[in-house]
A and B are shown apart, each in its own frame.
Chain A
Amino acid sequence: MSAKIKHFPGEEIETKDFREGKVLFESFHPKAKYAWSAGIAISRFLEELKNGRIIAATCSKCKRIMVPPRIYCEKCFKPTDGWTYVKDTGVINTFSVSFIAADASRLKEPIVVAIINLDGASEGMGIVHRIGEYGDWREIKIGMRVKAVWKPPEERTGAITDIKYFKPIKE
């Protein structure tokens, strides 16, 4: 990079060199399992999802209605002092149409993911979820109104996936 450096070190190898034995390596697969505590606020959030409702936390000082809920308001650092339900409808704030899966493999049918600003929450507050029943992905627009499509009550377990996806609605 500098005109004064004559040689940049680094021996380049290719992925096939591993297969062909041109470069030697050691393999390892860590066995790490986790049980993450949902915590106070999200435990309640998940329990309410099981009941088919979305709950938010309120900060009376900042006048914010926050979803997903939390036990402290990160702006004023006070504990949140109330709970309130928000609607399961909202507006698409931003979205992406992904042709790659979580493991970087290619998908034939895309996954559409979006941040949805829920009705009843403070402006800009959103959750991330999938969009389904959209027809042609090229028709999806920022600003579209959407509604949650829930799993039937007996299939809900208290998870973010108790909502299957959000679908576009006409109003």
Chain B
Amino acid sequence: MSLEKITNPFNARHWIGNMEADYRYTLGVAGERFLKEIKENARIMGAKCPVCGVIFVPPRLYCEKCFAKLGEWVDVGKKGEVYTCTIATIDIDGKKLEKPQIYALIKFEGAHGGLIHKIGETDKVYIGMKVEAVFKPPGERKASINDIAYFKPAE
């Protein structure tokens, strides 16, 4: 059989494989403090830049605008506002979700940035909607962003 010109695509070969890897991401110096506060104190913290005065949420080690080290941490409260949102109908593998899930970027008053999280206890969401964090019971918290179960509509 001449192999000069392959016209049958099944003779054009491919090799199947995957890229195996597991990851363990340290939360970092700032991240560990942020999630510990959520786990132990049910507090959402921001970090303030001593030079620009900006409060960053999530808090970080340094100000990306002026490169100063962020030393002062502030409680930004549990209430925020929906800055933007979407309703997901399929999961990460492309399968249809049993019940659509609302995701939103939630901003906190006086702070720069925000948290991406789920919206629960409602089917409706709109930009500007006031929301409040609902924490898991203390025994179930693991120092993860999911220690906040979701944000619910607030008054």
A and B touch in the complex (CB under 8 A): yes
User: Which A positions have Cβ atoms within 8 angstroms of B?
Assistant: 11, 13, 18, 23-38, 40, 42-44, 46-48, 158-159
Task: Judge whether B67 is part of the interface by a CB distance below 8 angstroms.
Answer: no
Residues of A within 8 A of B52 (CB): none
Say how far B77's CB is from chain A's closest CB, in angstroms.
23
Residues of B within 8 A of A37 (CB): 12-14
With A24-B36, A26-B144 as known contacts, state yes or no: A36 contacts B25, CB within 8 Å. no
A47 to B12, CA, bound (A): 9
* Interface bin, chain B: 20 to 34
Residues of A within 8 A of B18 (CB): 31-34
Contact check, A35 vs B15: say whether CB atoms are below 8 A apart. Answer: yes
Contact check, A34 vs B3: say whether CB atoms are below 8 A apart. Answer: no
Contact check, A29 vs B23: say whether CB atoms are below 8 A apart. Answer: yes
Contact check, B26 vs A24: say whether CB atoms are below 8 A apart. Answer: yes
> For residue B33, which residue of chain A has the nearest CB?
A24
Contact check, B19 vs A30: say whether CB atoms are below 8 A apart. Answer: yes
A28 to B144, CA, bound (A): 13
Pick from B6, B19, B31: contact of A32, CB under 8 Å: B19
Contact check, B14 vs A33: say whether CB atoms are below 8 A apart. Answer: no
Contact check, B14 vs A35: say whether CB atoms are below 8 A apart. Answer: yes
User: Which B positions have Cβ atoms within 8 angstroms of A?
Assistant: 3, 6, 11-19, 21-27, 29, 31-32, 35-36, 143-144
With A24-B35, A43-B12, A44-B3 as known contacts, state yes or no: A34 contacts B17, CB within 8 Å. yes
> For residue A23, which residue of chain B has the nearest CB?
B26
| 3 A-B pairs with the lowest CB-CB distances in the bound complex, closest first | A38-B13, A43-B13, A28-B23
With A47-B3, A47-B11, A48-B3 as known contacts, state yes or no: A24 contacts B16, CB within 8 Å. no
Residues of A within 8 A of B6 (CB): 40, 43-44
Contact check, A35 vs B13: say whether CB atoms are below 8 A apart. Answer: no
A42 to B32, CA, bound (A): 49
Pick from A27, A34, A36, A159: contact of B22, CB under 8 Å: A27
A29 to B18, CA, bound (A): 12
Residues of B within 8 A of A34 (CB): 16-19
With A13-B26, A43-B6, A48-B3 as known contacts, state yes or no: A24 contacts B15, CB within 8 Å. no
With A13-B26, A23-B26, A26-B144 as known contacts, state yes or no: A38 contacts B3, CB within 8 Å. no
A1 to B122, CA, bound (A): 57
> For residue B145, which residue of chain A has the nearest CB?
A26
Residues of A within 8 A of B31 (CB): 24
With A33-B16, A34-B17, A36-B15 as known contacts, state yes or no: A27 contacts B3, CB within 8 Å. no
Residues of B within 8 A of A42 (CB): 13
Say how far A22's CB is from chain B's closest CB, in angstroms.
10
A46 to B31, CA, bound (A): 50
